[in-house]
Amino acid sequence: MATIELFSPANKDRLENRLAFVSKGAALLPKKICVSIVDLVTVKNFNLFCEVLDIFAQTDPAFSSQPPPTSAVTCRSHRVANRSRFESWAYPMLADERFRVLPI
């Protein structure tokens, strides 16, 4: 199963909205639901994918020091040999680039 979340400016405008969005995505991952996030909102400089990663104590080298404000990502969590495994595919989105194909 998978869900695709498209950002709106309201998802980034206040702390409580960002926390609600991040919590929703984080709650789906342990249920083995793949989450794809497309963030094309440029008016606020927050990267909610990075905030989801924080919940799982994960990082992504492509989003390390200065995360881009716009991105397209897919995350999933599953078990391998009785161990939890978190995987993500993340791409910064630039105005002049084609949209990347995200795995589900």
SS3 for the chain is CEEEEECCHHHHHCHHHHHHHHHHHHHHHHHCCEEEEEECCCCCCCCHHHHHHHHCCCCCHHHCCCCCCCEEEEEEEEEECCEEEEEEEEEECCCCCCCCCCCC
Domain ranges in the chain are 2-92
pLDDT in tens, 7-36: 777 877 888 888 888 888 888 888 888 888
pLDDT in tens, 61-95: 777 777 777 888 888 887 778 877 888 888 888 77
